[in-house]
Structure 1
Amino acid sequence: MANPKVGWGFGWLTFCYLAIAVVAVDNALASQALMPLAGLRPDEGTARLITLAVLLVQTLLAVASTRPPSRSTTCRGSAPAARRSRRSCATGSVRRWSGRCWSGSRSRSSAPGWW
C-alpha cells in the first residue's frame, strides 16, 4: 500500500461492496428461489420481508457462532514461559493459532530455545 489513507479507502470500498452484495444476493434468493419454492405469487413487498428475515437469520447465526474473547492472556493450566519445554512452547503456539486460547506474543517469551 502507498499509505494508510489508501488502505482505509480500500477497506471502506470492500465493506460497502460486501454490505450491498449480501442484501442483493438475499433479495435474489427470496424473490427467485424461496417464493416460487413456497408457491407464493411474485410480489416485491413479500420478497423484501423474506429478505429481512433471511438477513436476520444470517445475523443470528454469525453472532451465535462467534465466541467472545477470553479475559485471560494465557492458556489455562499452562506453565509460565520460563519453565516451558520446547515441546510445550510448540503446543502453545498451536493453541494460539487454532483459536482455543491466546497465549500472547512469541517475542515476549524468555524461554531458552524458543524457536
Structure 2
Amino acid sequence: MRKSIAAAMSRSKREIPHYYLADEIIMEKSLTWLTARNAQRSITERVLPAVLLLKAVGLAAQRYGEFNGFWRDDGFQPATGVHVGVGISLRGGGWSHRPSTTFPTRSSTT
C-alpha cells in the first residue's frame, strides 16, 4: 500500500500543476475565544487550535470554488463539495485518518 501511495504522490507532483501560498495569520482573537471556550470543557472535549485553521480552510474552499477540485484528464474539474480531513503520522509507523468534515456547497444565489 505504501508503494502505491508513493507512486501516486510522485505522479501527482510530476504531472499536476502545483502552487503554494503563504501568508501570516493573526490568531490572537481566535485563540482568546478558544481558550475561554476550552475552559468550560473537560480535557477530553477541548478543541485544538488546528481545528480553527481547518475550519478556515473549509470555509475558504467553499467560498472560492475555483481553488477546490481535481486534476482529471489534463484539466481542472471543480469539486461539488468541500471535504476537509487530517492524516496523522504515527510515531511507531503508519498513519491514522481522522474523519473529514463536509461543508455544504454554496448555492448559485449566494
TM-score w.r.t. the length of structure 1 is 0.30
Structure in which a larger fraction of residues adopt helix: 1
Structure in which a larger fraction of residues adopt strand: 2
Question: In terms of Rg, which structure is larger?
Answer: 1
TM-score w.r.t. the length of structure 2 is 0.31
